[in-house]
């Protein structure tokens, strides 16, 4: 059974501007060390940063306002084949257990101007 669905769209140029303005302080408030390292291995890190931010926002939309969320409690990772997945920590992990959320489906995409993420939570 589906618990929630969320989608988010991020303008890649906006992500670049925010990172250039706020630097490491912004990155560490929003992303995990693993996410930052992964994105900065890429030729254009802002594409990967934008879709990861969109994934976090899409997950928050999928759960509604049921629990306060720290963005660093949500980590976007990739399996060996490249498929993205969400790793949940902290209070959010407890919330998933309470609500019996057993699967998190994630799809990411980007092109030159925008990054998009869709999340489906399944009980």
**In sequence order, what DSSP letters do the residues of the chain get, joined into one string?**
-EEEEEEEEEEHHHHHHHHHHHHHHHHHHHS-HHHHHHHHTSSSHHHHHHHHHHHHHHHHHHHTTSS---GGGEEEEE-TTS-EEEEE-HHHHHHHHHTT--EEEEEEEE-SSEEEEEEEEE-
The verdict on whether 112 is a catalytic residue reads no
User: Which residue among 61, 83, 87, 99 is the active-site one?
Assistant: 61
User: Which residue among 16, 91, 103, 110 is the active-site one?
Assistant: 110
The verdict on whether 110 is a catalytic residue reads yes
Hey, which residues are catalytic here? 61, 110
């Amino acid at each position: 059974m589906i618990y929630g669905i969320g989608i988010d769209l991020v303008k890649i140029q906006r992500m670049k501007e925010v990172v250039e303005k706020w630097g490491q302080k912004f990155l560490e408030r929003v992303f995990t060390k693993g996410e930052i390292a992964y994105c900065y291995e890429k030729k254009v890190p802002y594409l990967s940063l934008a879709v990861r931010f969109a994934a976090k926002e899409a997950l928050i939309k999928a759960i509604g306002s049921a629990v306060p969320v720290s963005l660093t409690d949500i980590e976007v990772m990739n399996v060996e084949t490249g498929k993205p997945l969400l790793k949940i920590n902290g209070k959010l992990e407890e919330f998933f257990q309470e609500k019996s959320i057993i699967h998190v489906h994630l799809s990411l995409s980007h092109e030159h101007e925008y990054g998009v993420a869709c999340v489906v939570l399944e009980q």
